[in-house]
Each structure stands twice: as C-alpha cells, then as structure tokens.
Chains A and B, each alone.
Chain A
Amino acid sequence: MATETTREKNLVQRFDDWLGQETTPKRALATYAVLALYFGFLLVPVAWLVLSTLVSSDTLYSSTLVPSLTELSLANYAFVLGLGEFQGYFVNSLIVAVGTTALTLVSGTLAGYALSRFEFPGRKPMLLSFLSTQMLPRVLILIPFFLVMLDLELVDSLLGLVAAHTVLALPFTTWLLKGYFDDIPRSLDEAAKMDGCSQVDILVRIIAPLSLPGFAVAGFYSFIISWNDFLMVSILSQTAGTRTLPFGLQLFQSANQVNWGLTLTAAVITMIPVIVLFALVQKWLVEGLASGGMKGA
C-alpha cells in the first residue's frame, strides 16, 4: 500500500516528503544552490590538487581539465615516497607533532583542571594572560626566542621544536579543556571525595573519562598546529635532520620549480594525515569549536 502511493506521487512531492516538515522544496533548492557555490570555491581547488597528482606531466602541463580515467596513475606517489629526504621530513613531522600533542595535553589538562575546579588567588588573571599570549606577535617572540634557544643549545633539535609548538597550542587547548571540565557536574567530584579519592584520582578516574571528546579536539588542534607550522621550523631547524614537512615542502618546491607533479604530490602527502585525523574527530570538532567560541572565560 505505502509503496504504491509513493510511486504515484510526482517528483516534487517526493522531494517534499524527503525534506521533512520544516523545509519547503523552494527553500531546500536555494540552500543547495548556495552550498554548491561555496563548496565550488572551497573544495574545487583541493579536488583539483589531488587530481593533478594522478595525471601524466603531458596532461598536467596542458589546458585539459578532465583527464581520461585510463591515464590516472600513482607514479608520482611512488617516486616521492621513495625519496629518502622526504621520508626523513615525514618522520620528523610525526615525532614533533606527537610530542607536541602529548606535552600539550598533559600540561593543558592540569592547567584546565586547576582553572575549572580550584579556587586560588590569581585564577582569573592567569586564564586571561594564558589567552592573551596567543595574541602576541610571533615574529617578535622569535627574535629573543632564537637567542634563548641558542643559549640552551636547542636550536636544530626536535625537542626545541616540540617546546615551541607546545606553547603555540597550549593557550587554546587549556581554555578548551577547561570548558569541557566545567560541563561535568561538581557533584561527581564531591561524591568521589567522600569516597576518599584524591584530586589526582578524581581527575584521572572521573573527569578524564568523561572528557574524551574534549581530549580528541584538543589533541587534534595541537597536532595540526605542530604539523602545519612553518615559521618556527624555518628558524629553529638548520639541517635536514630536524626539518619537518612544511619546511621540507617549501625547499622541495623551490628545488623542483619545473616539476609541479612532484611538488603537488608532496603537498598531498603532507595534508593526508591532517585530513584523516580531521575525518576521525570532525564530529566533536565542529561541536567543540562552535561551543568553545561561546563559552567565555
């Protein structure tokens, strides 16, 4: 019965049913049209980048927009992934980004928890000054920072990069985690305290398991801050042994001026880890960024 009536309806009605009650077909079409315009602007460049890495250089350097399916190949990827220096940059990027994420999450969680749960003199000024550090001009910081790192012999070391990237990610991460901790009812802490749990126990056993989405967003944010950074690496890294992908990619680009196929492929490989992580956390990210922007201090 139901299927028969559906079949009898014309296309517009079926579209209307599919939309649900609040949206009229006209409104839906207008929405899709606007979305199509925006996503043409936002995603076509990325799609074209990926497509360009799969074609032969003849097609790449022609005015062909749509290549034939048969000519697509992964030859560029095989070549770039086989380059020793590129593998080195990739491993360095991974070490620095994972190190940054770990250090940021540990120090950010402790600070965020203190700001959320403890009353101590200077709590609010501390939160505000944490946030304010994000607004300081990085190029100004870089001059004395470079001199400090020279003194500490941390120039051209991965540890120096981890430290530099951690402070870039830390203010926002702390604030974000504080927001997640604030949402966990205090009655849970009180109950745990009655049962004789220490503050560290409460943080590890009660708060942390309930804040996993917060950790996902904060961890992702720290990872991409580190993975994407060019400025710090360009100053602190002096030899190939400490170069990360963005800096390596820039060198690669100037060295391969004429070979766009390889440069574009290296660019895609650089962005893949970020896109994969993004796909994993996007559900919480959109929520977290949206609500984080509104919570206030």
Chain B
Amino acid sequence: MATSSGTGSRYAAEFKSFVKETWLGYAFMLPASVLLGLIVIYPTLRGVHISFFEMSLLQPGQETFVAFQNFAAMASDPKFWNAFGNSILLTGVAVALQYLLGLGLALALKEKVPGVALFRSASMITWVLPVVVMVIIFRFMVQPGYGFLNIVLGWFNLPTSYWFGDPTTAFPLVVTMHVWRNVPFFAIALMAAMQSIPESLYEAAEMDGAGSLAKFRYVTLPQISYVSMIMIVLHVIYTFNNFDIVFLSTGGGPLGSTEVLATYVYKQAFQSYALGYAASVGVVMLVLLLAFTVVYVKLEDTE
C-alpha cells in the first residue's frame, strides 16, 4: 500500500512538473512569438491576401477583389520577367562565386601560420559594414577620373567609365558587391568545418597513398558537405531576398539591367502605389523562397 501510494504521488509530482514546464515554456516563448506573429507572420498572410486585390496606397481603405488578375498581368509584364531572370541569375552566380572563393579563403585561413588569427578576424569586416556604406565605397571606386578602379585602369590605358551607369557592367558590379560582402562568412564557416575534421582521416588517406589533391577531394570535401549545403541555401535565400544592394547602387537601372524582384516589388508598392500587383510579385518570391526553405529545414533536421 505504502509503495503504491508512493509511486502514485511520484507520478502526480512528475505530471505537475510537466504541466508547469509546459506552461513556463509557452510563457517564455510568448514575447518572441507575439512579435514575430504580429510583425512577420500576420503581414505575410495579409500580403498573400492583398495579392488577390486591386489596391492603391493612395486610397488605403479601398480594395477590389480581382482574383488572379494580378498574376495574369504579371505573366505578360516584360519588366517582371526581366526582374525574375535577373534575380535567378544574380543568386546563382553570386552564391556560386561566394562558395568557390570562400572555399579558397578557408583553405588559406585554416593554415597555422603566424598572424593568421588577425586575418581570421579582420576578414569579417566586409560582412558587418552597413550596405549603404559598401555601396558608397563601390560607387566612389568607379568614378571616372578619380575613382580607385578607374585610376588603376588608366595606368594600363584601359577604358574608364562610371561602370554602374553602363548596362553591360552594372550587373557584374552588383554581383561583385554580393561576393565582397559574403565571401568572409563562407570562409569562416568552412574553415571551422575543416578544423573539426579528425586528423586520423588524413593520416589514413596518406597511408593509402593519397596526394594533397586526393586528400582534398576524398576527405575534406565530403566532410564539409553539410556546412556547405547550409551556407549555400542560407545565401541563396539571402541573395534572392536582398533589396538594398541593388536599390542603393543602381536603383535597378540602367535600363532595368540590374532590376531584381525585391526592388521591383518595392517600386510597384511604394513608388507606383500599386499594392495589389506588388503583393502578387511578392507572392512569387514567397513561393520560390519557401521551396528553398523546405530544403533548408530538411537539412537542419537531418543533423
């Protein structure tokens, strides 16, 4: 009798602590959840809703249900397809370059040479700079006559120009800014992944007669594949979503050559006041980003 009532009360106590933990858990989650719910999740759902309406910022109260008309208009809007193509191209090229260059920098930063710690920390500077400061640096660098890049080009008698103003070079410059900003982050994450590879794997590979290239191919690369995937997916999302690098440097020009979906949505909403149409372009971005996010969450889950 005594024992059974003992177990009973132990279960009761455990149940009580479980309930208490659950409540405390929710209570602790509350502030963050309310903030995210109100400012991110609700507006996203509302944004999807707005995409089925015709709505102008000039008359905030009025909205007309137009079903899929915004999406139909998008399909025949060459500016949308231009921005769509640019977004995909920018994301693909920038992230590929970031990964390859980041991998190279990671290999150098993981070497145990004197002073490497200084390089490791200094490398992150480009990543913490405000985007607007980075854009000012780049715009100044390409000023004809007195910009760093044009001065150097001038030495070799190469053509100089305000490269952001030229439709063929503006886009590569935007890619360069993305790469400049994010290569260090790639490098630091990949370096950390390389440092956690057990030395024994390299020793085993050496016993099998592997040279340094083979060791890189068969030991390093497979061991950093998880971190690589995470970094790539994160940056695909970041780059695709990014607004201010393009908006502040070229505003999408010249001649729409650097227009991306994010700047197109912004202009439609806050410069043309076409909220409904802007929201529908935003929904296209949302669908593409969600697809990436699913990949990301799957990867996170496997760890």
Contact = CB atoms under 8 A, between A and B. Distances in A.
A126 to B, nearest CB: 6
Interface residues of A, number: 104
Contact of A164 (B39, B119, B265): B39
Nearest to B152: A65
B224 to A, nearest CB: 10
Contacts of B137: 45-46, 48-49, 267
Interface in B69-122: 101, 104-105, 107-109, 111-114, 116, 119-122
A28 B111 contact: yes
Interface string A206-218: 0000000000000
A282 interface: yes
A32 B119 CA distance: 10
B293 interface: yes
A137 B297 contact: no
Interface in B234-256: 237, 241, 243-244, 247-248
Interface size bracket, B side: 35 or more
A141 B40 contact: yes
B123 interface: yes
A271 B135 CA distance: 12
Given A170-B36, A293-B231, A294-B227, A139 B128 contact: no
Which of A119, A140, A147, A199 is packed against the most chain B CB atoms within 10 Å? A140
Given A167-B39, A231-B244, A294-B192, A140 B47 contact: yes
Contacts of B269: 139, 142-143
Contacts of B33: 111, 126
Interface stretch (B3-11, B141-149, B164-172, B213-221): B141-149
B146 A249 contact: no
A235 B275 CA distance: 14
A22 interface: yes
Nearest to B150: A63
A118 B59 CA distance: 47
Contact of A174 (B32, B125, B180, B286): B32
Interface in A132-149: 132-145, 147-148
B262 interface: yes
Given A110-B32, A111-B31, A293-B230, A133 B40 contact: yes
B111 A253 contact: no
B139 to A, nearest CB: 8
B296 A135 contact: yes
Contact of A139 (B32, B50, B248, B282): B282
Nearest to A34: B108
Given A45-B137, A111-B29, A296-B303, A144 B43 contact: yes
Given A46-B125, A141-B43, 13 more contacts: A35-B109, A38-B105, A111-B29, A113-B28, A114-B25, A118-B22, A140-B43, A140-B279, A145-B43, A271-B133, A283-B121, A289-B185, A291-B192
Interface of A: 18-20, 22-23, 27-28, 31-32, 34-35, 38-39, 41-46, 48-49, 52, 60-63, 65, 103, 106-108, 110-111, 113-115, 118-121, 123, 126, 128-145, 147-148, 150, 163-164, 166-167, 170-171, 174, 199, 224, 227-228, 230-231, 235, 245-246, 249-250, 253, 260, 263-264, 267-268, 270-271, 274-275, 278, 282-283, 285-286, 289-291, 293-297
30 contacts: A31-B113, A35-B116, A42-B123, A42-B184, A45-B141, A49-B140, A107-B32, A110-B29, A113-B28, A118-B21, A128-B297, A131-B296, A140-B43, A141-B47, A142-B43, A144-B42, A144-B47, A144-B279, A147-B60, A228-B132, A231-B243, A231-B244, A249-B133, A270-B133, A293-B192, A293-B227, A294-B192, A294-B226, A296-B300, A297-B303
